[in-house]
Amino acid sequence: MSTPSIQGESWPTLPLEEWEATRATLHMWTQIVGKVRLAQTPLVNHWWNVPLYVSSRGLTTTAMAYGSTFFEMEFDFIDHQLTIKCSDGATRIVELSPKSVAKFYQEVMTALDDLGLPVRIWTMPVEIPDPIPFEQDFQHASYDPVQANKCWQILRHAYRVMQDFRSRFIGKCSPVHFFWGSFDLAVTRFSGKLAPPRPDADPITREAYSHEVISHGWWPGQGPLGKPAFYSYTAPAPQGLADAKIRPEKAFYSNEMSEFLFLYDDVRNAADPDKALMEFLESTYEAGANLAGWPRAELERSQI
């Protein structure tokens, strides 16, 4: 069943407390699909081969190769299905409905096997406290289609503005992509310089932060903040970053999280949410780039 349309609600409300159970379940479901993508794609710098992408109906892996077959997996948050489509025309559907992570995992693996695409993944979730292997997770079993659709609507709005922001940078820059480990939409700019090695960094962190970066994104609010927000951080963080002046007025630096934050509700309630968000993205980039001594004239596109 399709979700009732909320297309008319620009930047919809999404308080974390109203959908946390659904968010936690969907987080695990995206990790299952994301790990299939990880298993089927060669490593790209900074793990750019693993994220999902905002699509016209939800989140997609884009096409992946399995021998001579190509297949794609897409979370459809309109009809609430995970669709698996193959280049030979074969298709399987896994319904998105209240069900445990264990059941969803079994259904996804069975669908891939039925398509002649047996993929085996490491079933331990990542980047969360107290992880439960997918096949043993009967704790997370919630799915509210309206709330899931709202999350996708926000991702669409954020993606649109972040794509515009990305287009203004001609240096190395990531796509605007959705990381299923941390469950956030992100875009990352690079100065082109190597970063100092991080003490005690694991292989994932070493690869992700091998070079100087300024990253921006949106996450639904899980973790210590407890509220959906846009964020910005510079790594390594230059001295004085916490005291830098940024815009709009309601954006701020969190000493607890060591990054700039702009609460989602302050964005959506702004007179012009797109403009307010772009001001946050631009001003936090400028603060980090200036303090870190990035060669901005070489990295930024001249106004056309």
Average pLDDT of the residues of the chain: 95
Q: What residues form DSSP beta bridges with 178? A: 52, 185
Cα gap 184→82, rounded to integer Å: 19
Residue 10, pLDDT score: 87
Residue 8, pLDDT score: 45
- Give which of 142, 138, 213 is closest to 171, Cα–Cα: 213
- Do 22 and 144 form a contact (C-beta atoms < 8 A)? yes
The DSSP secondary structure of 251-292, one letter per residue, reads: -EEETTTTEEEEEHHHHHTSSSHHHHHHHHHHHHHHHHHHHH
Cα gap 300→4, rounded to integer Å: 42
Cα separation values, 55 from 153, 155, 178, Å:
11, 10, 11
Residue 2, pLDDT score: 61
User: How far is C-alpha 231 from the chain's CA centre?
Assistant: 12
Q: Does the structure show a pLDDT above 90 at 56? A: yes
What are the structural domain ranges in the chain? 16-136, 145-299
Cα gap 37→44, rounded to integer Å: 12
- Give the mean pLDDT of 118-126: 98
pLDDT band at 3 (very low <50, low <70, confident <90, very high): low
Residue 88, pLDDT score: 97
Q: Which residue has the higher pLDDT, 197 or 15?
A: 15
Report CA dihedral (166, 171, 177, 179) to the nearest 10 degrees.
Answer: -130
Percentage, residues of the chain above pLDDT 70: 96
Q: Does the structure show a pLDDT above 90 at 124? A: yes
Q: Does the structure show a pLDDT above 70 at 234? A: yes
- Give which of 286, 203, 298, 196 is closest to 241, Cα–Cα: 286
Signed CA dihedral, 53, 58, 61, 62: sign only? negative
Backbone angles phi, psi at 165, to 5 degrees: -60, -45
